[in-house]
Structure 1
Amino acid sequence: MDAASTVRRLGRATALAVAVALAVTSCTSAGGGSVGDVAKSEPPRLDANDINPKPLDQLKDGGEVRLPLYQWITQWNPFQVDGRYGDAVDIMRALEPDLFTTDASGTFRANPDYLVEAGVTSTAPQVITYKLNPKARWSDGKPLGFQDFKADWEASNGKKDGYNIADSAGYELISSVEQGADPTEVKVTFAEPYADWQNLFRPLIPAAGIATADDFNKGWVERIPITAGPLKIGVADKTAQTLTLVPDESWRGTRPKAAKITFRVMSQSATTQSYLNNEIDLAAAATATAYGQLKDAKDTVIRSASPWDEVHISFGSGGPLADRKVRQALGKALDRSALIKIANNGVPVEFKPLGNHIFMPNQVGYQDNSGEWGKFDLPAAKKLLDEAGWKDTGSGQPRTKDGGQLELHFVINDSTPQAQIDLATAAAAMWLAAGVKVDLDKVPKNDFFTKYVDPGKFDIASWRNTDSFPLSTSLLNFRLPVGDNVFGNYSKLGTPEIDALLKKGAGTIDPVEAAKYYNQADARIWELGHTVELYQRPTVVAVRKGLANYGAFGLATTDYTKIGWEK
């Protein structure tokens, strides 16, 4: 089951997909007849990925790798609230300094192209000292320096008016950024401990590109003013919806193996046929229909891994949904186990039920905190609606209150395949059984986030949050909005208690103690009726044989310099 859109955290990069589909009925393919269930394998281990790893000397020099892109990228600043669209962050880490990479277990490692070393040099207060690679330079010729770190901190700490930031987590705890012993050394001092400091300044953005709020918000729209990575934009054709990355001739590090990486914008459903037509070299295969068509395709291998990737349903905060009991009732009216079973039909990797908004089931620290709020209980759902003042008017009819009907709208990307629309229709029937009428509203693909999700103009919507890793990035999804800035909390629902618990987790160095705070916060998020989690979604992709160092990454960073074709 796919989501119509994906939100990616700044934790790391991953692949993207389209809107969630829900069902309590049988699932059939869109064009190939019925889809039977297939033998299931266990989800891939957390510390594993499936990318056909090959050393560079076994790869051809040059060639083109063709990949799908599910939405045209408009905002390229990953620190700006609209710049967190999944593939934009991934691509930006190949164009700008990615100070730390992660391996398949999610362990951070300093990137030698930018850092000689970096680490904690004091604990009271916490001080991080970065020793920069003196060869690292911006495309305008200037070396990386403390002024870039300082500008990123000041832009992202939430204290500057007019900067529409994506997330202040970590940055708001920094008390100073200054030059160290020489221009290649940067000292970052924290007012409070911050466990996930390696996730900050990823990627590093040049001070020259964000000098003013206007530069920060608008200077990266449809353009990237300054780069410092192994790749650069070759062609960005908005009309043709095609984007190419090519090696940057001024790059001083390891040269990319591919001569060109081409991204073509298309809907998730279109990738299957595009792959079969030999127009792209990778396609998602995590649905019954897609897997059935791709698994035996010529010169194809299926690769899978377990990333931080969750499928959920989010509730808005306006109208009837301003009442917590109504949101809680909607959650109780859903039979999550039935939805997960149907979502998993025809896909070869087991989908694990998800009882946590912060940890994945195969992460250390995970526990199921859904309790009564994630349990299917139709009588309890009806009772909550009764208590909220919504009168039961009979089976199959929406409840009423003060002369109005309990009618809500589920916003759906119009590129969602018909099979998934059918599933969403079945979910609406589950809510109607509780007395809640839910209409499915199709909206244009490119408007789904910008006009509906980002501004919180929805009653019900679904997307995948991917890569909320490390754990401190979860604050972004659930923190209380500040003015017009909702961060990543598009439902606009939250409490000071949840914020405090998430911040305590982020400031606790001991992972066992930190997990206690995160799990306490998660239990409150379930009770709030913010989001109904369904399952952890494994990456399952069809990949052209011979494509190396690409596929299903798990928690590892994409290294675009190593993508290429075997000799």
Structure 2
Amino acid sequence: MSHDGVGPRAVMRSVVFLTAGVLVVPALTGCGADDEVSKPVAGQDIAPAERALVADGGTLRWAMDAVPETLNTFQADADATTTRIAGAVLPSMFRLDASGRPQRNPDFLESAKVVETEPKQVVLYRLHQQAVWSDGREIGAADFAAQWRALSGKDSAYWTARNAGYDRIEKIERGKGNLEVKVTFSRPYADWKSLFSPLYPKDVMGTPDSFNDGARTKLKVTAGPFGLTKVDRKAGEVALARNPRWWGRPAKLSEIVLRAVPRDQRAAALAADKVDLAEVDPAEAERITLAARDKGGKPLAGPRAATTPAGALRSWAVAHGSDEKAADREISARKKRTKAIAKYADQQSALGGFVVRKSLEPTYTQLALNGSGGPLADERVRRAVARALDRTELAKLVLQPLGLPVVPVGSHLALSGQEAYADNSGALGGQDTTEAQALLTDAGWVLGGPVKEQKKTAGSEGKKARPTNGSGDGSGDDGTYVVGEDNKPSETDKEKKDPKDHTKQHGNEQPGKHADDQVGKHIDGRQYVHEQVGRGGAPGAYAPKGTAAPGGTSAGVLAKDGKPLTLRFVLPSGPGSESLRAVGARISRMLDRVGIRTEISKVSDDSYFKDHIASGEYDLALYSWPASAFPATDARPIYAKPVPAADGSLSVEQNYTRVGTDQVDQLFDQAIATLDEDEARDLVRKADARIWAAAGSIPLYQRPQLTAARPTLANAGSFGFQTPLFEDMGFLKKGAKPSAGPSQG
């Protein structure tokens, strides 16, 4: 759940209404051997430097969202910081390279390969001769076996969040010597490289008590370039110290301190010299970039940015006028502004000492369409929504201002650079307003049909719908309605705007390009206009039935069985979600062009996923999924067809769109069971094409990864796909310089 929006935890990914045969899916065959290998859309940006240029020692203070609830990555409340800590202090048999592909970790493995396939699959691990735990014990078969038993799913006393792969293991044995581990599978498992990364010691995995509780707040035994020395929840810190028993390349840093800093306070923390490295939101990244460009000069933005000369003159006049109370208030306000300006200027001066390292996260943002009921239960309506979207325009909205490549994501199951990636969006088709409208007509939605008075939509009870104002954050004059958490008007609502002023409403966009629509319902032969969007006209005005709409308007309202085609679009309301709300507003405009109205409901970030996405209380929503190097394992629960549970409810696993097919499930099952890597890749690509065709979710763009760092910090920043190499991070020696530009995967 980072700056671009709210999404399920990354660890969870390592964590019904379709008619079969209705849709013909083109190009479902996998790509051949002559296909060009894809490359990451953006390389990592970590200021790479040779180890000889990095000083020995020093403390890296690294911002995190919060002290993790658990240090056990296999528990349900593990988060991204849990994974970060595990990467520094625990073994991983395989780690990801800059292209998001699994590679053998030479610090722990001399080799790992499938040595038998008949009658059963057998994988033989040969461990590094010096690989030991921090207590001096050799890493070996006992640790592998303990982790398998804990995660196999056979013992319900272990509170595990995921068992995929471990449930296919039949037995684990010691090989010819202490350094060999022999793993026999009861069923073939293509993604065997995903297992034992991380690997916990048998001290953690050996009993339910140690698994459930023992590893939540401490790890007594570790094995990595760093060891865990402190978890201080009160201070909001986790400390990692260089491991003296580490047999690999010695860590350059003496210590890494992970410090809890809320995202909206990170610029201040950087300026106050509290952290050296922090992921930041786009607004803070822009502020840091401006500070670096204008180092030593006046701030280019801040508390005075919105003050016009006329406003300044009025302030002076009030402060020196005859109305003493008004003058006192104005003088007090001016003092506060002066202090704020001085504070901002000091922070800008300090922020000039940082740089922003930019890449793309191995995560993509999607538009989710809830197919469990309502209009979106009809796949033709879902496909119409998808065909109404210009995905390149949406990607440009988020990525272009940051100077990142504008490339829409073409797969649900992999990202460009990964082996399984192929652009399968052609199975659904690109933006086509005519085709979208034809699909809606075929589904029975009629333009200008009669609309009956409707009851309040689910989730909007006691909430006042208000027309939006097109400001780009989901509150715009774009044919949508906003439902807030309460009946209070937003700050934007308090601003009075000229309805004829399109430059304020839609930025630099051309008049008529977006919806200038009259959205209404027929009453007694007249059309009651709920909201006038565009050139003049007042809400509540009447127009004779059949009056032509002005040029450049949307398609008009669609209706079926007396109901308008209106979809509830749920978006997060908190700081850091501005880009999601901007994307949501733009999507609403695109849908309005084909006659689909949206009711935007802004909800708190805390309740967004749990109370709306996971519970199915939405029609449209934006959230993100992390890409996996093992999609056959990790993506299956996200796209599996929901099935009835024993209690009569619908078991959706992680498929929060509630859209799935038997064909997709079968392709995943086949992919996970073949040991032919080329065949497995082609089966995953076929599954992705069918997921596109079902139109339950529409991938949009990779999320930006923006990291503020000290210029002297090397081998750290925006890592992209690659697993961080903690032992190589450090501060440059005096006079040393990192490699020019971002490193490319």
TM-score normalized with structure 2 length: 0.62
3-state SS in 2 of match to 1:353: coil
Shift of 1:290: 2.5
Letter of the 1:548 counterpart: A
Change (3 A) 1:153 1:327: farther
Change (3 A) 1:105 1:318: closer
Distance, in Å, in 2 between the alignment partners of 1:429 and 1:122 is: 57
Letter of the 1:376 counterpart: Q
Q: Counterpart in 2 of 1:3?
A: 5
Matched, 1:360 2:520: no
Q: Counterpart in 2 of 1:311?
A: 365
Change (3 A) 1:62 1:168: same
Change (3 A) 1:146 1:461: farther
| C-alpha contact 2:100 2:722 (8 A) present in aligned 1 | yes
1:508-533: CA deviation from partner (whole Å, max 9, x where unpaired)? 44444333211210111112222210
Letter of the 2:716 counterpart: Y
1:23-422 to 2 correspondences below 5 Å: 45=40, 49-83=44-78, 85-106=79-100, 108-124=102-118, 125-133=120-128, 135-138=130-133, 142-161=137-156, 165-211=160-206, 216=211, 220-224=215-219, 226-248=221-243, 251=246, 253-284=248-279, 287=282, 290-291=285-286, 293-294=288-289, 297=292, 298-305=352-359, 308-320=362-374, 321-363=376-418, 366-371=421-426, 373=428, 375-378=430-433, 380-381=435-436, 384=439, 396=519, 406-412=566-572, 414-418=574-578, 420-422=580-582
Of stretches 401-410 and 363-372 in structure 1, the one that deviates more from structure 2 is 401-410
Change (3 A) 1:494 1:247: farther
Shift of 1:537: 3.9
Q: Counterpart in 2 of 1:36?
A: none
Change (3 A) 1:63 1:229: same
1:26-70: CA deviation from partner (whole Å, max 9, x where unpaired)? xxxxxxxxxxxxxxxxx9857954323334443233322222323
| C-alpha contact 2:99 2:418 (8 A) present in aligned 1 | no
Distance, in Å, in 2 between the alignment partners of 1:238 and 1:481 is: 39
Q: Counterpart in 1 of 2:741?
A: none
Q: 2:601 aligns with which of 440, 449, 455?
A: 440
Of the two, which has the highest radius of gyration?
2
Letter of the 2:408 counterpart: P
Distance, in Å, in 2 between the alignment partners of 1:234 and 1:518 is: 42
Distance, in Å, in 1 between the alignment partners of 2:719 and 2:113 is: 26
Change (3 A) 1:107 1:420: closer
Distance, in Å, in 2 between the alignment partners of 1:428 and 1:213 is: 49
Shift of 1:476: 4.6
3-state SS in 1 of match to 2:519: coil
Q: Counterpart in 2 of 1:19?
A: none
3-state SS in 2 of match to 1:556: coil
Change (3 A) 1:424 1:11: closer
Change (3 A) 1:325 1:340: same
Shift of 1:96: 1.8
| C-alpha contact 1:136 1:252 (8 A) present in aligned 2 | yes
Letter of the 1:396 counterpart: V
3-state SS in 1 of match to 2:252: coil
Distance, in Å, in 2 between the alignment partners of 1:173 and 1:307 is: 31
How many residue pairs get matched?
535
Shift of 1:11: 9.2
Letter of the 1:478 counterpart: Y
3-state SS in 2 of match to 1:352: coil
Distance, in Å, in 2 between the alignment partners of 1:114 and 1:68 is: 28
Distance, in Å, in 2 between the alignment partners of 1:244 and 1:461 is: 37
Letter of the 1:90 counterpart: R
| C-alpha contact 1:11 1:199 (8 A) present in aligned 2 | no
| C-alpha contact 2:5 2:572 (8 A) present in aligned 1 | no
Change (3 A) 1:241 1:292: same
Shift of 1:116: 3.7
| C-alpha contact 1:81 1:166 (8 A) present in aligned 2 | yes
Shift of 1:565: 0.7
Shift of 1:310: 1.7
Q: 2:622 aligns with which of 455, 462, 465?
A: 462
* Identical positions, percent: 31
| C-alpha contact 1:63 1:259 (8 A) present in aligned 2 | yes
Where structure 1 has 5 or more consecutive residues not aligned to the other structure, the ranges are 13-42
3-state SS in 2 of match to 1:414: coil
Q: Counterpart in 2 of 1:502?
A: 668
Shift of 1:412: 1.4
Shift of 1:206: 3.2
Change (3 A) 1:441 1:222: farther
3-state SS in 1 of match to 2:691: helix
Distance, in Å, in 2 between the alignment partners of 1:449 and 1:72 is: 21
| C-alpha contact 2:135 2:221 (8 A) present in aligned 1 | yes
Shift of 1:315: 3.3
Q: Counterpart in 2 of 1:565?
A: 731
Change (3 A) 1:349 1:411: closer
Distance, in Å, in 1 between the alignment partners of 2:435 and 2:154 is: 44
Matched, 1:543 2:704: no
| C-alpha contact 1:132 1:184 (8 A) present in aligned 2 | yes
Shift of 1:122: 2.3
| C-alpha contact 1:10 1:78 (8 A) present in aligned 2 | no
Distance, in Å, in 2 between the alignment partners of 1:237 and 1:485 is: 38
Shift of 1:354: 1.4
Shift of 1:390: 6.6
Change (3 A) 1:231 1:393: farther
Distance, in Å, in 2 between the alignment partners of 1:470 and 1:371 is: 23
Shift of 1:549: 1.4
| C-alpha contact 2:410 2:425 (8 A) present in aligned 1 | yes
Shift of 1:443: 1.7
Distance, in Å, in 2 between the alignment partners of 1:51 and 1:187 is: 37
| C-alpha contact 2:413 2:628 (8 A) present in aligned 1 | yes
Distance, in Å, in 2 between the alignment partners of 1:267 and 1:399 is: 44
| C-alpha contact 2:366 2:623 (8 A) present in aligned 1 | yes
Structure 1 ranges of 4+ moved more than 6 A: 398-405
| C-alpha contact 1:68 1:263 (8 A) present in aligned 2 | yes
Shift of 1:177: 1.9
Letter of the 1:437 counterpart: T
- Give the alignment's Cα RMSD to 1 decimal: 3.9
Q: Counterpart in 2 of 1:39?
A: none
Letter of the 2:5 counterpart: A
Change (3 A) 1:11 1:259: farther
3-state SS in 2 of match to 1:340: helix
Distance, in Å, in 2 between the alignment partners of 1:163 and 1:454 is: 24
Q: 1:525 aligns with which of 668, 691, 715?
A: 691
Distance, in Å, in 2 between the alignment partners of 1:450 and 1:139 is: 39
Distance, in Å, in 1 between the alignment partners of 2:225 and 2:97 is: 19
| C-alpha contact 1:4 1:413 (8 A) present in aligned 2 | no
3-state SS in 1 of match to 2:667: helix
3-state SS in 1 of match to 2:62: strand
3-state SS in 2 of match to 1:462: strand
Change (3 A) 1:175 1:374: farther
3-state SS in 1 of match to 2:400: coil
Change (3 A) 1:309 1:444: closer
Letter of the 1:91 counterpart: I
